[in-house]
Homo-oligomer: A and B are copies of this chain.
Amino acid sequence: MKTDLATANPRKTPRQRRSAVLVEAIYEAGARILETEGLAGLNTNRVAAVAGVSVGSLYQYFPSKEAIVAGLLRQSRQDLLDGMRQVLAASEGEPFEVVVDRLLGVAARGQFDRPNLARTLEYAEGMLAIDEETRALKTELAEEIAGFLERHGISRPLIAAWDLISLVRGLIDAAGLRGETDAADVQSRARSAVFGYLEKMRIAG
């Protein structure tokens, strides 16, 4: 638990194809373990075993087990941010409600298929030394959303963005945990919460 930043970043980057494959296998093994057993079940020996590689190879590219988790978190955040930006870019001139719903769709898709993984990764942030870049992705996402909200007359847009992100995450996460499978239904309830919140904010803010 003493992990500082130096040990939470990749050690070296793969140059040949086989090493890229190896790194990918490690990430997937890590994800699977986090998904089924959580942070506490993740150890380098097991990751290596599940990935079908040796511990030594693992340590060629990951200086610590935290680095694996950090990498997964970064990927997950980057994907979400990219998805959101794509929606926003492709939705110029569209009605507010439509855009919000599309954003919601991106969020739901990213979280609902592997809810345990998503939850563990988010939880991990508070416990690990995560590099600034990965942390920044979270802020970037909020700012992206905030900009969009501001353009549509929502007051305190940054606060609202944070609130909406965390509230939607909480709702979807819990639904996944309970074993709900109807993503459309969950999304529609999340929509209610989001629009409800926004309406109140338009008046009160």
Contacts and interface: CB of A to CB of B under 8 A. Distances in A.
B163 A189 contact: yes
Interface stretch (A49-57, A144-152, A169-177): A169-177
Given A127-B37, A197-B193, A174 B166 contact: yes
Q: What's the dominant secondary structure at chain A's contact region?
A: helix
Quickly give the copy total for this chain.
Answer: 2
Which of A39, A159, A197 neighbours the largest number of chain B CB atoms within 10 Å of its CB?
A197
Contact of A198 (B1, B162, B196): B196
A169 B116 CA distance: 17
Contacts of A193: 163, 167, 193, 196-197, 200
Interface residues of A, number: 40
Interface in A122-169: 123, 126-127, 159, 162-163, 165-169
A192 B178 contact: no
A201 interface: yes
6 contacts: A1-B38, A119-B123, A167-B193, A192-B196, A192-B200, A197-B197
Interface of A: 1, 37-41, 116, 119-120, 123, 126-127, 159, 162-163, 165-171, 173-175, 177-178, 188-189, 191-193, 195-201, 204
